[in-house]
Structure 1
Amino acid sequence: MRARDIETLVGVGRPALAPDGSFAVFATSRPDIAANRAVGQLWRVDLPAGEARRLTRGVADSSPRLSPDGSRVAFLRGDPKNRAQLHVVDARGGEPVQVTDAALGVSDIAWAPDGRTLAFTARVAEHGRYGTVEGLEPDAESPRRIRGVRWHANGLGYTVDRPSHVFAVDAPDPGAEPLYDPAPAVTADGAPSPERTRVPAEARQLTEGELSHSGCVFTADGAEVLTVVEDPQLEGADLRGELRAIRLDGRGARVVVERETGLGIQDVAVAPDGTVALLAHPLGDSGVDFVAPATGLWLLEAGGVRRLTDSESVDLGEVGSHISVAGDAFLVQDRTRGRVRLLRVERSGGVQELLGGDVEVNGHAAAEDVVVAAVATPVSHGELVRVTDRGGVPLTEFGAPAARAGIAVPRELTVEGRDGYPVHGWVATPEGDGPFPTILQIHGGPYASYGIHLFDETQVLVDAGYAVVYCNPRGSAGYGRAHGRSIRTRMGTLDFADVMDFLDGAVEADPRLDGARVGIMGGSYGGYLTAWVIAHDHRFAGAIVERGFLDPVSFQGTSDIGSFFGDEYVGVEHGDIMRQSPMAVVDDVRTPTLVLHSELDFRCPLEQATRYYSALKRGGVDAELLVFPGENHELTRSGQPRHRVERFEAVLDWWARHLPVRDAV
């Protein structure tokens, strides 16, 4: 796979399933270099084994939700200003109806049980900001008053002055008469001509004030909307969520799950009988104990909440994880050893695997006795499958173009570390006998993981002639909670040993890997560990430190998660911080290092990179800095496609100069 082949990486989003299980609707997304953005549409596939066809033809349609009777699809589509707006289309196809004209766009959407109303969340700007006063430029706005410790977010910017609120709007009939722009007219009383009518009905704002809301789902009777409330002006770090029920008639709200319950709430689902299920994790007495957070499935019951899944053996915290109601049970996705499997969880707590093996489940839906899932595999970035007792039956073939571009399927490997601990990972190699120069990749997180899905960053390196070694060291997700929490206040210890031992074990197990010519690279936490490694081991011909967590001291006041991340991972005592800080040992680096970063990265802010790079140069290290304008922490996953290609070109250029393939025999 070459850099430009990222265009073949078609992702499949969370599907929606007709109430009788007769068809599914889902969204795709892929990078398009010419358009320089992600593009995608909604698709429909009739079940049990129909051919998938495009349902819409927008530039980037997403987040489909089927009406309760299955006749209409609500979804998000960008307007001319690229703001996501709610649209509705007939489930058989046709021209969508725009439902909202929100100034800052729309996010979560949900249907009322009777299909007459749609709820959604949208950010509401403080007056005088974000275009609410025509002609007032951002640099002329009044100063922002901040009282809390969390005021901005990666990929968004300031949030304290534009909280997210819950709205409701009448659901339109896609077959009704279209709206027409009124022509200019002379009125008898000199009144201005009527303005253009953009949407068929005005949305009603159900919440207001400084509190921000995320997610929306109707109660079974349709009288209330459940949403998680956050106070952006809290004076101390607190990740606990409060679940509220907002009355649709605008007559107030009630607290369903109190903040004092101590849960971080990620998803909410409501069964037809009114039972409320939560995807959540306990945050301890501090409200910020998020390291390896033991995300599980909970039921709301009289007197409190009850956990259904085991905190040690089941981890439902994968990005995009959600709940599907399946009769009297619930479907969830559990990450384990680089896979994400689909589980059915009974209300009694019984757990059954519905889909496992070499898949990563990214979304699911159930109706009647039909279950569909969006999955990634070693040879496909995204497919829709029908789940049967024989596994996943493919309903799409989106992975075919990537396969034609060339894919190296990695080999799984477990290495016994220096203390006897098993380190699990993969090795991907070019065709031939080698020996190949070898690159050690390190993932971000740290409580994340490498998986078995088709991974462009590995594939591009293999295509260029490099063997790639990557693993899930202690601190990673998918190997139990103890594995994930083992590096808390011990970063750069067990994780350092694991990645180095895995590299040594992979080289020893395969003579095609040239252990004398190695490089190292990683992003985010992977950037942290790369910077840590090259200060303590000088075997590498070169290193790439990307969007790294490099100085825990300055991270505290600059990152969108700075109020709690460093405190929980490296501690608060000066000695503990220095003991685990790459900046504290930067003078020991001798390895040529490329520092990659994005200008608008608020997760690991740009100053982390510039200060680290400046320290390298001051120490006489062969170092370069590459900064991408307009990008944030998600450059490698969802950045502008042209920037993603340019990043690959810079990576390959760096390795060509410091770890050339041409020297391989």
Structure 2
Amino acid sequence: MMINYPVIREYTHADKNNGGMMMTKRAVEIEDLFSLVQYSDPQISHTGNMYVFTGRIINENQDYNEHIYTQGLHEGDPRQWTFGNVNDRFPRFSPDDQSIIFLSNRSGTDQLWSMSTNGGAPKQLTYLEHGAGKPHWSPDGRYILFAANVDPDVAFSEQVEKTKHERQKEKNPLKIERLKYKSDAAGLHDHKSKQLILFDVENKTSTPLTEDAVDHTVGGWSPDSRAIVFTANFQGDSHIGQDIFIQPLQNGEKPRQLTASEGTYHGISWSPDGTQIACFGHTYTHDGATQNQLWTFDVSSGEKKLLTPAFDREIGDVMISDFQSGQHNPGPVWIDDHSIVFTSSRLGRTGIFKTTGDGEIQTIYEHDDHVYTFSLHAKSSILIVGISHPADPGNFYTLSLEDGSITQRTFANDAYLSELSLQTPETIHVTASDGWTLEGWLLYPYDFDPKKKYPLILEIHGGPHAMYGYSFFHELQVLAGKGYAVLYTNPRGSHGYGQPFVDAVRGDYGGKDYSDLMAFLDNTLDRYSFIDDTRLGVTGGSYGGFMTNWIVTHTNRFKAAVTQRSIANWLSFYGVSDIGYYFTKWEIGAHLLDDPEKLWDHSPLKYARDVETPLLILHGENDLRCPIEQAEQWFTVLKYYDKEAVFVRFPEANHELSRNGPPRLRRARLEEIVQWFDHYL
């Protein structure tokens, strides 16, 4: 199939002729983050003539605002529908397209609001004490389904929205009885759990559908509006997974479990004829390194079918970016009763694919870029796709399923980006010591002069089961703008290169993954004579922070390092991380009491005496994924042995600091990184 790819703009250091005058584009700066709009979550109307989406900005008070926009599907410019110091998210058309419902914090907590598509002010629909969640219209338009926190000790009718003053009451002691009592996204868990709530559109009433003391996640509605599908874990905290349940809404029937508690499933959607359910998921064949696959379940019999048995790649979007990362992936979407479209990631790309259930996968769109979201209008075979690439934070395009033609519909940030020298990466392939092929990218420094020598910074992604690739990455552009060559790679453990590659890091942290990174560095230094091998820096976050710590304990070739939200001690990580009690076994290969020596052998802290590289330690105080005690231990031991180290703590920041943290702290973080490397390199 011939695909007419969009023109990929290449913003380089070259001058641009503008009306006979030479215009020199400037380098990317930290402050540019505060001038970019982030488009996401497109939703096509049922008639197929328009779509809504959200645009996120950082306002003058350095807070996030998210607003709703609309645009004709084939003509017209985007039009902003909501305004103000608010966050309006998840806009969804009613089945008759006469209104949209969305989630907003206008009243102080996230509640459901509605707006007429013909204009008018937004109207608040829910007034729940603990807020509402992402809305899902029933096909008949009578109800809206969502999940929300519910207090089991208080009558639901009494759990009404409080004033700001009432919400600022003193915190009570928290009694903990569960193994899983915290998460990086939600903080410390109390006795509340997410229940499914049904909002009656006509009567404006909310009714809980579930009451079991587990979190429920909405999957969607049956086409006849007579049942819903959801996921939950009823097996206890020692079981890491999500099962699928069908809940009829008639005659008080109990939910029916479709899956056998052998894996984890998400991104659920019901086929148009109501006979099948599609989802992403896996059965933990390689623990947390298992690639997602595409499944269907027969609604009546529960028969399970794998649609991607020979598709050795990750299903879904696993691209790492500090701008478009994990943005509203819709999961599998039915075209008709037999065909499904979905995203998949490989070789640094995330594209769109189609299956008809016979094992054959058809490529709809795959290019050197990042499809981070999409919406389908099945009747017209048209997709709205959000695409980012290294020189574009993200825009929407119409993509035809019939002929693959694609047309750009939005031009967010174009006027601003036209002033900037955005570097396009050069792809590098390296052969590892054991013969595996490795992939990475090199950004040239701003205003590159081949006669000069430049310092280089090696960036290491987190996960480790994630993927660098062809997406916009503000931090990398900032470093290139400061005059650094930037090398970023996908060592073994990364997604995008097949199941054996993803699995290869487990039980070997600091082994061949470390060798992969050093092979990339050696190859790059041999290939690019403009890089000064006496001015090398290294940085990374999460797993990338662990690897930065490991590198400075095992080599002195780097002149400076910055470790972020890192792991230094697997022994303590086991008990303090929100995922430590299972992730440690998955990745290192042992539980704490089974083989503490193995955990200690893979801990950078064990080798702290060997550090000679000046090290900057950056960590969020609210990080529950890699808690700040990891940084505290690391810094304390290094300073005790008189190593050159500086520790910067970021209040109010969790593990998502670099992507979704408070904007002022995102700025401060980048300033610390740049200043450290500028000083030493």
Work out whether 1:608 is the aligned partner of 2:630: yes
Deviations 1:252-302 (A, max 9, x none): 432232343x121121101220144333332348xxx53322211111122
Displacement of 1:87 after TM fit? Answer: 1.5
Report which stretch shifted further, 137-146 or 578-587.
Answer: 137-146
Work out whether 1:432 is the aligned partner of 2:464: no
2:619 aligned residue: 597
Residues 522, 529 of structure 1: 8 Å contact kept:
yes
Does the residue aligned with 2:580 lie in a helix, a strand or coil?
coil
2:366 aligned residue: 356
Work out whether 1:472 is the aligned partner of 2:487: no
| Residues 1:624 and 1:479: Cα distance change in structure 2 (over 3 Å) | same
Instruction: Give the counterpart letter for 1:374 in structure 2.
Output: G
Does the residue aligned with 1:375 lie in a helix, a strand or coil?
strand
Within the candidate set 509, 518, 525, 2:543 is matched to: 525
Deviations 1:446-498 (A, max 9, x none): 00011211101101111111111110000001111111000110111111011
2:264 aligned residue: 264
Instruction: Give the counterpart letter for 2:148 in structure 1.
Output: A
In structure 1, C-alpha distance between the alignment counterparts of 2:473 and 2:587, rounded to whole Å? 27
1:43 aligned residue: 69
Displacement of 1:409 after TM fit? Answer: 1.3
Displacement of 1:86 after TM fit? Answer: 1.2
Residues 268, 276 of structure 1: 8 Å contact kept:
no
1:493 aligned residue: 511
Does the residue aligned with 1:203 lie in a helix, a strand or coil?
strand
Q: TM-score, normalised by structure 1?
A: 0.89
| Counterpart mapping for 1:362-381 below 5 A | 362-367=372-377, 368=379, 369-381=381-393
Work out whether 1:326 is the aligned partner of 2:327: no
In structure 2, C-alpha distance between the alignment counterparts of 1:325 and 1:66, rounded to whole Å? 18
Deviations 1:138-178 (A, max 9, x none): 766244131x3211111311235221010011236xxxxxx
Does the residue aligned with 1:508 lie in a helix, a strand or coil?
helix
In structure 2, C-alpha distance between the alignment counterparts of 1:582 and 1:223, rounded to whole Å? 55
2:315 aligned residue: 316
Work out whether 1:281 is the aligned partner of 2:261: no
Deviations 1:202-234 (A, max 9, x none): 211111131110124111221222111124x82
Q: TM-score, normalised by structure 2?
A: 0.87
Report which stretch shifted further, 575-584 or 510-519.
Answer: 575-584
Report which stretch shifted further, 92-101 or 211-220.
Answer: 92-101
Residues 155, 601 of structure 1: 8 Å contact kept:
no
Displacement of 1:135 after TM fit? Answer: 6.9
Within the candidate set 271, 286, 291, 1:294 is matched to: 291
2:603 aligned residue: 581
| Residues 1:132 and 1:35: Cα distance change in structure 2 (over 3 Å) | closer
Residues 26, 64 of structure 1: 8 Å contact kept:
yes
Work out whether 1:227 is the aligned partner of 2:230: yes
In structure 2, C-alpha distance between the alignment counterparts of 1:132 and 1:84, rounded to whole Å? 12
Instruction: Give the counterpart letter for 1:251 in structure 2.
Output: G
Residues 56, 93 of structure 1: 8 Å contact kept:
no
In structure 2, C-alpha distance between the alignment counterparts of 1:534 and 1:408, rounded to whole Å? 29
1:190 aligned residue: none
In structure 1, C-alpha distance between the alignment counterparts of 2:680 and 2:220, rounded to whole Å? 53
Does the residue aligned with 1:106 lie in a helix, a strand or coil?
coil
Deviations 1:400-455 (A, max 9, x none): 12342331111111122233322201101122223111100000000001121110
Displacement of 1:62 after TM fit? Answer: 1.4
Work out whether 1:407 is the aligned partner of 2:433: no
In structure 2, C-alpha distance between the alignment counterparts of 1:278 and 1:37, rounded to whole Å? 38
Residues 295, 306 of structure 2: 8 Å contact kept:
yes
In structure 1, C-alpha distance between the alignment counterparts of 2:343 and 2:237, rounded to whole Å? 34
Report which stretch shifted further, 434-443 or 17-26.
Answer: 17-26
| Counterpart mapping for 1:388-467 below 5 A | 388=400, 389-400=403-414, 401-430=416-445, 431-433=447-449, 434-467=452-485
1:171 aligned residue: 201
Residues 338, 450 of structure 1: 8 Å contact kept:
yes
Does the residue aligned with 2:52 lie in a helix, a strand or coil?
strand
Work out whether 1:643 is the aligned partner of 2:670: no
Instruction: Give the counterpart letter for 2:333 in structure 1.
Output: S
Does the residue aligned with 2:600 lie in a helix, a strand or coil?
helix
Instruction: Give the counterpart letter for 2:289 in structure 1.
Output: A
In structure 2, C-alpha distance between the alignment counterparts of 1:80 and 1:407, rounded to whole Å? 40
Residues 121, 216 of structure 1: 8 Å contact kept:
no
Within the candidate set 152, 155, 161, 2:191 is matched to: 161
In structure 2, C-alpha distance between the alignment counterparts of 1:292 and 1:68, rounded to whole Å? 39
In structure 2, C-alpha distance between the alignment counterparts of 1:391 and 1:530, rounded to whole Å? 43
Instruction: Give the counterpart letter for 1:117 in structure 2.
Output: Y
| Residues 1:108 and 1:263: Cα distance change in structure 2 (over 3 Å) | farther
Displacement of 1:657 after TM fit? Answer: 1.5
Residues 120, 216 of structure 1: 8 Å contact kept:
no
Work out whether 1:617 is the aligned partner of 2:647: no
2:652 aligned residue: 630
| Residues 1:386 and 1:117: Cα distance change in structure 2 (over 3 Å) | same
In structure 1, C-alpha distance between the alignment counterparts of 2:167 and 2:36, rounded to whole Å? 41
Residues 386, 393 of structure 1: 8 Å contact kept:
yes
Does the residue aligned with 1:470 lie in a helix, a strand or coil?
strand
Does the residue aligned with 1:648 lie in a helix, a strand or coil?
helix
2:323 aligned residue: none
In structure 2, C-alpha distance between the alignment counterparts of 1:601 and 1:131, rounded to whole Å? 28
Report which stretch shifted further, 619-628 or 69-78.
Answer: 69-78
Work out whether 1:25 is the aligned partner of 2:39: no
Report which stretch shifted further, 403-412 or 110-119.
Answer: 403-412
In structure 1, C-alpha distance between the alignment counterparts of 2:189 and 2:582, rounded to whole Å? 17
Work out whether 1:210 is the aligned partner of 2:220: no
1:306 aligned residue: 305
| Counterpart mapping for 1:560-575 below 5 A | 560-572=578-590, 573-575=595-597
| Residues 1:4 and 1:61: Cα distance change in structure 2 (over 3 Å) | same
Residues 449, 472 of structure 1: 8 Å contact kept:
yes
In structure 1, C-alpha distance between the alignment counterparts of 2:166 and 2:663, rounded to whole Å? 32
Does the residue aligned with 1:405 lie in a helix, a strand or coil?
coil
Deviations 1:91-127 (A, max 9, x none): 3443222111222222232010101210111112354
In structure 2, C-alpha distance between the alignment counterparts of 1:631 and 1:371, rounded to whole Å? 36
Report how many aligned residue pairs link the two structures.
623
Displacement of 1:599 after TM fit? Answer: 0.6
Instruction: Tell me the percent identity.
Output: 28
Displacement of 1:654 after TM fit? Answer: 0.8
Deviations 1:617-647 (A, max 9, x none): 1121100000110111001101111111111
| Residues 1:136 and 1:516: Cα distance change in structure 2 (over 3 Å) | closer
Does the residue aligned with 1:631 lie in a helix, a strand or coil?
coil
